[in-house]
Structure 1
Amino acid sequence: MASSSTRSTRATPARKTSKSRGSANVTPWLWMAFALLVVLIDQFFKILITRSFQYGESRPVTRFFNLVLVYNKGAAFSFLADAGGWQRWFFTLLGVVVGGFIVWLLYRHTGQKLFCLAVSLILGGAIGNVVDRVLYGHVIDFLDFHWRNMHFPAFNVADCAITVGAVLLILDELRRVRRH
């Protein structure tokens, strides 16, 4: 009797291990599907704006927010926008390399939900902007926040996803440090 209970005890952890391995194989795909959803939402709004606005056109939505169609050939805050064209391919390559690294991270850390959410948002945002660079040679921006005569640089859904993902990464790290 003791030996049969020992056998069943040994078999149970093996089943749990194979279950967790099976779910670990599915989880990265779910996070990548979430990143794809971010890309689709980003591209949907970019297409909607480009079909509804002329370049440079701005439409007030509130006293502090406009929709506008502008292009960014550089990176955040138009960094390197006037660099002569090489930056298009540099930022495209950078986005692809970062995307590959994030996919690797998703496979390595499948059990860390907040971390995976954060990097999935960053992945979706990076791919959304890479799509623009490849197709158009620039990133389409359309969200314009301002106060009085000061305008924050225009941005898009992909930039929002990257920003929220970065904030979640910081929160995740703070939680991890606090636990240890």
Structure 2
Amino acid sequence: MTLKKAGLIIFLILLIDQVSKVYIKTHFMLGEEIKVFEWFRILFIENEGMAWGAKIPGEYGKLILTVFRLIAIVAIGYWLWDSIRKKMSRILIVGISLIFAGAMGNIIDSVFYGVIFDDSYRKVATLFSEEAYGTLFHGKVVDMLYFPLYKGYLPEWIPIWGGDYFTFFDPVFNVADVAISTGVGLLVVFNKRAFPKETKEETEAHSTSEVNSKEQDT
């Protein structure tokens, strides 16, 4: 798979992700919800930290998280470039491309949204507002996809949680999160195709090639 095709995958995912986020920010108030189906809703929330609402505590927690994401995206980018250079399997390159695009999508929110949007609390945000809600590297990630497939009280016979109110699936996420999850899923499910092991003949040929190369150098 070529770098151009991987770049196209990344571009399309980033485009869909950012268009959907900008639309939600400029058309929904924080917490506003639209029911598409009983099991699918558009619910606008903002995530200040990591997945599942977790946060790094302290004054510099958000900055540390954003810097870590920037370092991670460089590492993922190198992994993608190196895999293409070595002509690794298509499934591996597609998986890394999806992870890279998803990570980049959320990084854009974290880095820039704080300075290009005003607050969404009790009002619809304005793009390129003069009263930005945050600063560079302190933006909030926009989430909007909500799939409450089941809501109700669990049967009493279930240990520990019996009788409790339960929602499945409760997390709210975005297109970037879907890309990351899909990319990781591909690498896990198709692990043997993504990371094929060398056959005995290939290993011996590789070793022979290295020996010949060293002999030529000497």
TM-score band, normalised by shorter chain: 0.7 to 0.9
User: For 1:18-40, what per-residue CA distance to the aligned partner results, in whole angstroms no more than 9, with x for missing partners?
Assistant: xxxxxx7xx12321221121111
1:152 deviates by 1.6
State the shift of 1:109 in Å. Answer: 4.1
2:82 matched to which residue of 1?
A: 105
Q: How does 1:34-53 map to 2 (within 5 A)?
A: 34-53=9-28
How far, CA to CA, are the matches of 2:56 and 2:41 in structure 1? Answer: 22
1:145 to 140, 144, 147: 147
> Is contact 1:68-1:144 (8 Å) kept?
yes
Say yes or no: does 1:162 pair with 2:184.
no
Match of 2:47 in 1: 72
Residues 1:48 and 1:131: Cα distance change in structure 2 (over 3 Å): same
Aligned to 1:114: 91
Among 69, 91, 110, the residue aligned to 1:92 = 69
Q: Distance in 2 between matches of 1:166 and 1:135?
A: 26
Q: CA RMSD in A?
A: 2.4
- Conserved 8 A contact 2:73-2:100: no
CA deviation string 1:73-119 (max 9, x = no partner)? 11211121665433442343244334433333343443411111111
- Residue 177 to residue 30, structure 1, CA distance change in 2 (3 Å): closer
Opposite residue 167 of structure 1, the aligned amino acid is: G
- Give the aligned residue type for 1:153: P
The 8 Å contact of residues 66 and 107 in structure 2, kept in 1 or not, is answered as no
* Equivalent in 167, 171, 178 of residue 189 of structure 2: 171
Q: Structure 1 residues 121 and 57 mapped into 2: Cα distance closer, same or farther (>3 Å)? A: same
Normalising by structure 2, what TM-score? Answer: 0.63
Distance 1:142 1:114 in 2: 28
Aligned length: 155
Q: Distance in 1 between matches of 2:56 and 2:36?
A: 27
Identity of aligned residues (%): 32
CA distance in 2: counterparts of 1:174 and 1:72, whole angstroms: 35
TM-score, scaled to structure 1:
0.74
Q: Which amino acid aligns with 2:181?
A: T
Q: Which has the higher helix share?
A: 1
- The residue correspondences of 1:14-53 to structure 2 (distance < 5 A) are 27-53=2-28
